[in-house]
Structure 1
Amino acid sequence: MKSLLMVTTVPDTLSAFLIPFAHHFRTQGWRVDAMATGVSQNVECIKAFDQVWDIEWSRNPLNPLNLVVAPRIIQQVIRQEKYDLVHVHTPVAAFVTRYALKDLNKQNRLRVIYTAHGFHFYNGGELLKNAIFLTLEKLAGRWTDYLVVINREDEETAKRYRLIPHEKIRYMPGIGVDLQYYNPQAVSDAEVEQLRQELGLAPDTPFFLSVAEFIPRKHPQDVLRAFAQLARPQACLAFAGDGFLMNQIQNLAMQLGVQNQVRFLGVRRDIPALMRAATATILASDREGLPRCVMESMSMETPVIGTDIRGTRDLLKEGCGLLVKVGDIEAITQGMAWILDNPQAAQAIAKQGRERIASYELSYILKEYEALYAEAILEIRTAEQKNL
């Protein structure tokens, strides 16, 4: 039986993005396990994986304590379980795991695959941070058998800096979006009406939606300030998500005098219905890998206003959405106004977005990973035969 260990920093990454992968490969006869901090307390992960392994590490990628205890635990689990493939995601888990396995995977019995969900160094990033994280990725590249990148900027960067040999770099358009689940036809008019009633909105009230954590890199204050500047009393803005900046943004809404037009919804499980009901979605981030919320909005045929950064640019280019500069509040406001004043043109953009997102569909990505895993397994088997 072929075996796979998926490693992430926290279990939320597994439950939000990787459970479909576990299900797919388990149905094909693989043993699929998972490792993350606190994963044994996550009911979804316990059900989705054959076995889960707890491990402790800091989410701070520069915390040296990550290299003290965690590597020994990783090595012990790998020796005990004898996995064929270890697939690492998220910066901390990816670096520490690759460091821990840097000698084991030289024994030709193991292949390490790293999916970079957006490098921590990027165009427009701070020079010192970029230099530090680039150095770390160059170092970890020596311990990586395959590198998967999910946007074109990261692909070009990985090749330019030769993080690993070019033939071992794979571009894949994200980790997939379920076009059956995120489908405008799957949300009824009754669901939209009920949702609008919950939000206290009339059937014809336009509303903009931001699905993002309240953290600095998502720039929620830019979305709020742009909405306030829009000065359309009949419009509404809804935030879906939580985070430590939420109270600050709620206070800013009061300062700007738009608190009655803004809804703070917290974490929601009905994102397709929210997007189906929204006039448009907005993502003002300064850094992304390939933003899931933009993919979901495009799938729902809801227009998107996004910042002109890697990942988002890949999705919205060529007229599939509105791109604005990071921090350009005036441009976000103009985008909102354009969508309100040009509903037919906005809908045409949204339909084009749905067509673009077809190549990002989950089943397509699963086939790409099937091919990658098969190549890695073949390498292992070939090496074993040579050593006989």
Structure 2
Amino acid sequence: MPRVLFLANIARFFTDFLLPFADHFRKQGWQVDAAASEMSTCTGCLAHFDQTFDLEWTRNPLDTQNFLGGLRQVRDLIVHGGYDLIHIHTPVSAFIARLALRGVPLNQRPKIIYTVHGYHFHKRGHPLKNLVFLSIEKLAGPWTDYLVVINREDEQATRRYNIVPPSHLRYMPGIGIDLSRNSADMVSGEGIRAVRAELGLSEGQPLFVMIAEYDPEKRHRDALQALTQLNEIRGHKDAVLALAGVGKLIEQVRAQARELGLESQVKILGWRRDVPTLIRASVATVLPSEREGLPRAVMESLALETPVIGCDIRGVQELLEDGCGILTKVGDTPAIAQAMTWMIEHPQEAALMGQKGRQRMAAYDLKNILRLHQE
């Protein structure tokens, strides 16, 4: 039986993105194991993997714990695990794992695949942070059998900086979106009415949704500022913004909404199981991020025929290039407010945008991505 080990920094990455891949390869007769920090607390992972392992590493590339504990742990796990394939996700875990195997002869170690979910160096990144992450990627590139990128900008960056030889580089359109689950036909009118009632919305009251981790790079503050400008400049004072997600800045965002006088218009929802219904209940989704790889939130919205207001950055630009939404500059909150206004005032055109989005997602169908990985 062939054996594969999935590696990531934190266990939540598996539940967010990789469970369909684990299920697929197990059905194909593989033993599929997973390792990350906090793995023992990931109850949602247990049914999808044959074995799970806790690792002592963090998301900080300069944390000495990664080298003191994580390096030894991952080397022992891989060397003694008898794996045919290691599939790594997230940059720090990818660097540590490849560094750990550097001294193992090629004929004694498994093949290494590293999927990049958006390089951590990018056009708007801090120069020092960009230097650190680019240096890490260039250093570990020669220890990689295949490097998979999920957007065209990262493909170009890989070639420009010669991170791996061209023969070791693969492009895949994301990690897939389940079009059968993320379908307008699967969301009932009753469910939409229930969500709107939960949020206290009256009939016809416009709802915008932002689905993102509460992280500085997601720029929730820009969505709040845009809502303020929508109130003051555009005259749409009844619009509501629902924020779904978890993260370290959730209380800070709550405080910002309060300071801006938006308590009645901003709904901080936390983690949600009913994301498709929430999206379908909205006029449009909003994602003002400054860094993305190929954002799942945008893909889900387009699959559900709901237009997107996003920033002109890597990944988002690629998904919206065929008129599936509106792009703004990062931090341009008046432009975001103007886009929100347009979505409210042009419902028929917005609906057509959403329909284009569904068509665009055909290439990103999870079934297609699983087939490409199998090959």
- Using the size of structure 2 for normalisation, the TM-score is 0.97
Matched, 1:93 2:97: no
Taking the aligned partners of 1:107 and 1:113, their CA distance within structure 2 comes to 16
Letter in 1 for 2:299: M
Letter in 2 for 1:157: A
Letter in 2 for 1:88: I
Contact 1:219 1:284 in 2 (8 A): yes
Greater shift, 136-145 or 118-127, is seen at 118-127
Letter in 1 for 2:308: V
Letter in 2 for 1:228: T
Taking the aligned partners of 1:246 and 1:47, their CA distance within structure 2 comes to 30
Matched, 1:280 2:284: yes
Aligned twin of 1:176: 176
Greater shift, 117-126 or 62-71, is seen at 62-71
Taking the aligned partners of 1:319 and 1:95, their CA distance within structure 2 comes to 37
Letter in 2 for 1:187: V
> Where does structure 1 lack aligned partners over 5 or more consecutive residues?
372-388
How many angstroms does 1:35 deviate by? 0.5
Contact 2:214 2:248 in 1 (8 A): yes
Matched, 1:318 2:331: no
Aligned twin of 2:374: 370
Letter in 1 for 2:274: D
Aligned twin of 2:55: 55
Letter in 1 for 2:370: L
Taking the aligned partners of 2:265 and 2:170, their CA distance within structure 1 comes to 45
**CA deviations over 1:223-257 (Å, ceiling 9, x no partner):** 01101110112211111112232222222222222
Taking the aligned partners of 2:131 and 2:59, their CA distance within structure 1 comes to 19
Inter-CA distance 343–138: structure 2 relative to 1 (3 Å threshold): same
Map 1:211-290 → 2, pairs under 5 A: 211-231=211-231, 232-290=236-294
Aligned twin of 1:384: none
> Where does structure 2 lack aligned partners over 5 or more consecutive residues?
none
Taking the aligned partners of 1:316 and 1:289, their CA distance within structure 2 comes to 14
How many angstroms does 1:44 deviate by? 1.7
Taking the aligned partners of 1:18 and 1:195, their CA distance within structure 2 comes to 28
Matched, 1:341 2:349: no
Aligned twin of 1:161: 161
Letter in 2 for 1:264: I
Contact 1:141 1:164 in 2 (8 A): yes
Contact 2:101 2:109 in 1 (8 A): no
Letter in 2 for 1:68: L
Aligned twin of 1:26: 26
Taking the aligned partners of 1:253 and 1:136, their CA distance within structure 2 comes to 38
Greater shift, 331-340 or 127-136, is seen at 127-136
2:334 to 330, 338, 345: 330
Aligned twin of 2:296: 292
Matched, 1:305 2:313: no
SS at structure 1 position matched to 2:9: coil
Greater shift, 251-260 or 202-211, is seen at 251-260
How many angstroms does 1:104 deviate by? 2.3
Aligned twin of 1:133: 133
How many angstroms does 1:19 deviate by? 0.8
Percent identity at matched positions? 48
Letter in 1 for 2:284: A
Taking the aligned partners of 1:141 and 1:252, their CA distance within structure 2 comes to 41
Contact 1:105 1:112 in 2 (8 A): no
Contact 2:295 2:316 in 1 (8 A): yes
SS at structure 2 position matched to 1:44: coil
Inter-CA distance 105–313: structure 2 relative to 1 (3 Å threshold): farther
Letter in 1 for 2:160: R
SS at structure 2 position matched to 1:123: coil
Aligned twin of 1:79: 79
How many angstroms does 1:65 deviate by? 2.8
Greater shift, 181-190 or 245-254, is seen at 245-254
How many angstroms does 1:142 deviate by? 1.4
How many angstroms does 1:108 deviate by? 5.3
Taking the aligned partners of 1:66 and 1:81, their CA distance within structure 2 comes to 20
Contact 2:245 2:269 in 1 (8 A): yes
How many angstroms does 1:15 deviate by? 1.3
Taking the aligned partners of 1:208 and 1:291, their CA distance within structure 2 comes to 17
Inter-CA distance 353–58: structure 2 relative to 1 (3 Å threshold): same
Contact 2:79 2:109 in 1 (8 A): no
**CA deviations over 1:322-381 (Å, ceiling 9, x no partner):** 11110000110010001111111111111111111110110000011011xxxxxxxxxx
SS at structure 1 position matched to 2:44: helix
Letter in 1 for 2:257: A
Taking the aligned partners of 2:212 and 2:151, their CA distance within structure 1 comes to 19
Taking the aligned partners of 1:63 and 1:264, their CA distance within structure 2 comes to 32
Moved over 6 A (4+): none
**CA deviations over 1:42-84 (Å, ceiling 9, x no partner):** 1221111011111111221221331122222222222222100
How many angstroms does 1:38 deviate by? 2.0
Contact 1:104 1:110 in 2 (8 A): no
Greater shift, 227-236 or 104-113, is seen at 104-113
Aligned twin of 1:379: none
Contact 2:37 2:58 in 1 (8 A): no
